[in-house]
Amino acid sequence: MDYRALTVSIENKIAHIVLNRPDELNTMNVDFWRELPHAMREIDEQASARVIILSSTGKHFTAGMDLGVFMNPKNISLHGDPGRSAENLRRLVLQLQDTFNVLETIRIPVLAAIQGGCIGGGLDMISAADCRYCTEDAFFCIKETDLGMTADLGTLQRLPHLIPQGMIRELAYTGAKLPAKRAQQIGLVNEVYPDQESMLKAVQQIAVEISKRSPLAVTGCKQMINYTRDHSVQDSLHYMAAWQSGMFRPEDMMKSFTAKAQQTDPEFEDLFPIKPPFTAE
């Protein structure tokens, strides 16, 4: 794909997806909604990286939804039969939700590096990431309340699993800004850095450490953590046992032991690429 809203690069098994419309505050236009899931899925399907860094350019990480997406009659029609209009809007919301769901459904971890404002749809997006990091000037805002609507792309579903119930309710009801320091205190972000340069350097090093681990072990961790969030402890333990019985292989463990004894980094095989069903060889 010829990316217009993003830049995508891969080096040493680390992919870097950058929101790249700084003059428009990286608002989420039609190009963004097409390109982000395509980039994420392509990296995963090709097994071309073991971790993805998601960052941005300019003063703000993203100002959220480009309202032109909703204003364009090609995307949504609120006229005519009420039932059909409602079904059309529901379908659009589900499609937009899928753009952020992909951060969870791909096999590899996604690390979000946030500077400046992370507003509206930006918070929907980073709440689906595996880990979040930010700069001292960063702030987070459920902006939809100020616009007279309810956030509908994942914030209200995922944030209650990341921060205390009282905080998500206060932020959702008021539309207030959550500053970086407070975001770290309540567990939304892992670490706060003085500026974007130091943040990206630190997140890059975290990505390096992830890339050195067995990709099969890492994707197993991601699958299990996501599953246990949505299921009971007992169900999750049963799923863990089933996963381990099928996916555990001693070869990666032996490589780890050997590398530690030799004081080197182990060399693990990549995950297999994902092939569409019934494709010709």
Asked if 213 contacts 267 with a C-beta cutoff of 8 angstroms, the reply is no
Among 161, 180, 211, give the residue marking a domain's end.
211
| pLDDT at residue 75, as a whole number | 62
Task: Determine, yes or no, domain membership for 277.
Answer: yes
Based on the domain organization, do 73 and 201 belong to the same domain?
yes
**Are residue 249 and residue 157 in the same domain, yes or no?**
no
Enter the DSSP assignment of 2.
-
Q: What is the DSSP string of 137-196?
A: T-EEE-GGGGGTS---SSHHHHGGGTS-HHHHHHHHHH--EEEHHHHHHTTS-SEEESSH
DSSP-assigned states of every residue in 106-135:
SSS-EEEEE-SEEETHHHHHHTTSSEEEEE
- Which residues of the chain register pLDDT less than 70? 70-78, 278-281
**110 and 223 both lie in a single domain:** no
222 in the same domain as 197: no
The per-residue DSSP string of 7-74 comes to EEEEETTEEEEEE--GGGTT-B-HHHHHHHHHHHHHHHHHT--SEEEEEE-SS-SB--B-THHHH-TT
Same domain, 242 and 142: no
HSE-CB at 90 with a 13 A cutoff on CA atoms is 6
Q: What are phi and psi of 8, to 5 degrees?
A: -130, 130
Judge if 101 and 161 occupy the same domain: yes
220 and 207, same structural domain?
no
Backbone Cα Rg of the chain: 20
CATH number for the domain spanning 172: value is: 3.90.226.10
Contact 163, 174 (CB under 8 A): no
In a domain, 177, yes or no: yes
Return the closest-CA partner of residue 109 out of 82, 81, 129: 129
Structural domain harbouring 240: 213-281
**Residues 26 and 157 occupy one common structural domain:** yes
- CATH code (residue 222): 1.10.12.10
pLDDT of residue 249: 77
Residues 217, 204 share a domain:
no
176 and 202: one domain?
yes
Give CA–CA dist 105/240, Å, rounded. Answer: 17
Give the span between the Cα atoms of 64 and 19, in whole angstroms: 12
Whether the model clears a pTM of 0.85, i.e. scores above it, the answer is yes
> Which of 211, 243, 267 finishes a domain?
211
188 and 250 in a single domain? The answer is: no
Say what the pLDDT of residue 74 is: 67
Shared domain check, 263 and 178: no
* End residue of a domain, out of 196, 211, 226: 211
Q: CB within 8 A of 225, min separation 6: which ones?
A: none
Please report how the helices 233-247 and 215-230 are oriented relative to each other, as an axis angle in degrees rounded to 10.
Answer: 160
Residue 204 covered by a domain? yes
How many domains in the chain? Answer: 2
